[in-house]
Amino acid sequence: MPVDYGFDHYRLDRGIDSISRSTRPEVPLPDAAHLPPAAQLSRPELDRLLWQPNLQDYLAEQLQPQIADRQLLTPQRFERALRAAVARLRDLAAREGHAGRNPLLRKAAQALAEEANLRELLSMYRSTLFQG
């Protein structure tokens, strides 16, 4: 006696019978640019089942920064925070520079300023590409 799995509704020789429409009002989705990034990236289910922790995973987990405010990872807020960090490091380097101590603050400020400039250049190139 054959077992009925309930797949008779999904026969391949049968097309679409009808299209149903919802009577509820359409709810607009929020703009993706204003949403904070997800706390964790989703992993494929098979990876999740077969995953065995190792030393590299442990180190990556321990070195991952803890971010309390996920909004900081949006491009606009990150750009503002980066510029504020550059300004703060430059102020500290100027104060420490008069005493002739630790040039690391100046080098850190230069590195962050270069990063900010590269991000600005990338943004300019991207907008040029979108304009055609």
The answer to pTM > 0.75 is: no
| Whole-number pLDDT of residue 122 | 92
% of residues, the chain, pLDDT over 90: 20
Cα 48 to the chain's mean position, in Å? 21
Dihedral (C-alpha) 48, 50, 51, 52: value to the nearest 10 degrees? 150
- Mind listing the pLDDT tens digit for each residue in 79-115? 899 999 999 998 888 887 665 567 888 889 899 999 9
Cβ count within 10 A of residue 89: 20
**39 to each of 34, 60, 86, how far by Cα in Å?**
15, 15, 26
Q: Is 109 exposed, middle or buried (0-12, 13-18, 19+ CB in 10 A)?
A: buried
Question: What rounded mean pLDDT belongs to the chain?
Answer: 81
- Mind listing the pLDDT tens digit for each residue in 4-31? 666 666 666 666 777 777 788 888 877 7
Q: Is 96 exposed, middle or buried (0-12, 13-18, 19+ CB in 10 A)?
A: middle
Q: 40 Cβ partners below 8 Å, 6+ apart?
A: none
C-alpha span between 27 and 25 (Å, rounded): 6
C-alpha span between 116 and 85 (Å, rounded): 10
